[in-house]
Amino acid sequence: MYRRPLLSAAAVRRLVSGAAYPRQLIHRDVCLTRALVACQQARFSSQHSPPCRSYHISTQFRNVKDSSQHTEEEVGAFTKLIEAMGFTGPLKYNKWKIKIAGLRMYTCCVERINYNDFFEKCALPDTLHSWFLIAHLHVWMCLVRMRQEGRAGKYMCHYIVHSMWEDVEQRIKIMGISAVHRKEALKSMTETFYGAMFGYDEGVLCDDTVLAAALWRNLFSHQCEDPRHLELMVEYVRKQMQFIDALDGEDLLLTGEVKWRPLVEENAQSIMKAVKPTYNDTGL
């Protein structure tokens, strides 16, 4: 089989006479020669080797992509390029609708939560810091749910967090805290936010003991004298995650509406069974 020479005749002479040729250039030519030989061998073996793994292509595996499981979106080269530059490519839905839905979802984390129940039943102090810890817990649950919705969900997560920090800063200003202390408070809350995110992520993927440890460190700030409070919060997080995960993803992306379960359930089986419509005697 004919092959092109890897090096010219002059280069071969220089390799033989090492005294007249610098060592660095010799090393470079030797490495280049080895790389070209490896490429030639790989090309030759790929041309003469029989095709393999053809049995992996079947209709059974194609149907998996059409299922309701969450899969990564296929994006083009242009979208990957502009997102690598820091911009957001075209999404499944309008970006302004997703922004508004993100703001509405954060509003649900603030206005649809009975904070007094947490203050009373979990023995938490009624302070701005406790309010932030409770709100952050619900924001985290929303972020976990929306990350399952592909690129549009991740885009929405960005504005949920952005809305949270805007709200926190405004609340601190209303309380009349000076700029220096406000900056220190925001820095402390930022560290708490990202630290708790890792702890909650690990806890929701592991057993209840890991989740309880994350809640004890972050929500209770290492101060929980009654273990029943910790048990109540572990049960609350588990049932909320189960409830949010059952919500339709497209509705969340377009509306951002989230209804939370109460801290203490009147009917413990209500979160396990879907609410069935009731009919009268006439069938209406």
Please indicate, yes or no, whether residues 14 and 151 belong to a single structural domain of this protein.
no
Give residue 75's pLDDT.
Answer: 56
Give residue 179's pLDDT.
Answer: 86
**In this structure, is residue 110 part of a structural domain?**
yes
**In this structure, is residue 73 part of a structural domain?**
no
Instruction: Give the domain extent around 35.
Output: 9-44
Please indicate, yes or no, whether residues 27 and 99 belong to a single structural domain of this protein.
no
Please indicate, yes or no, whether residues 27 and 127 belong to a single structural domain of this protein.
no
For residues 216 and 239, give the distance between their C-alpha atoms in angstroms, rounded to a whole number.
Answer: 18
Residues of the chain with pLDDT under 70: 1-91, 93, 267-284
Please indicate, yes or no, whether residues 151 and 257 belong to a single structural domain of this protein.
yes
**In this structure, is residue 68 part of a structural domain?**
no
Please indicate, yes or no, whether residues 38 and 142 belong to a single structural domain of this protein.
no
**In this structure, is residue 179 part of a structural domain?**
yes
What is the pTM assigned to this prediction? 0.66
Give residue 265's pLDDT.
Answer: 82
Total domain count, the chain: 2
Please indicate, yes or no, whether residues 247 and 187 belong to a single structural domain of this protein.
yes
For residues 167 and 179, give the distance between their C-alpha atoms in angstroms, rounded to a whole number.
Answer: 16
Largest CA distance in the chain: 106
